[in-house]
Amino acid sequence: MSETALLKVVAETKLWEVFARRKYEEPLHQVGTIAADDPELAKVYARSIYDEFSWVEMVVAPRDAFISVIKP
C-alpha cells in the first residue's frame, strides 16, 4: 500500500467523543476524543485508548451530532 493511498484512508476519519463512568452512581463524563472511520472502529479505539479504569459504562458519540448551545 503506497503512503499516498494510506493518507487517503486516514483522511476519511471522523471525530468521536468518548464518555464513561466508573460507578453506577456517577454520571457519564467526557474522557476524551478519538478519530475513527465508522462506529465499530470507534468502539475498538475508545476501549483500547481509554482503558485506564475499569469502567462500568462507556459510550461514543459522533462529534458532528453535537448541537452547539454556547459556542467558545
Partner 1 sequence: MIVTEITEQQALFDLLAALADNKYFLGRRYAEWCNGAPTLESSVAAAAMAQDELGHARALYPLLHDFPQAQGQPTEFEPETRTQFCNVAFLDRMFTGWADFVAANFLLDTALSVIFEFAQESRFESLRGRARKVLLEEQVHALHGEGWVRRLARTGGSVRGTLEAALLHTWLETLCWFGPADDVRGKLLQQGGILAGRPEELRQRWLEHVGPVLLETELAQMLALEQDAGRWSVTTPLPWGRWDAARRRLKDAG
Binding site for partner 1 (CB under 8 A): 1-2, 5-6, 8-10, 12-13, 34-38, 40-41, 43-45, 47-49, 51
For partner 1, the closer of residues 26 and 47 by Cβ is: 47
For partner 1, the closer of residues 12 and 26 by Cβ is: 12
Buried b (16+ CB within 10 A) or exposed e, 6-37: eeeeeeeeeebbbbbbeeeeeeeeebeebebe
Residue written as grid cell 476524543: 33
For partner 1, the closer of residues 21 and 43 by Cβ is: 43
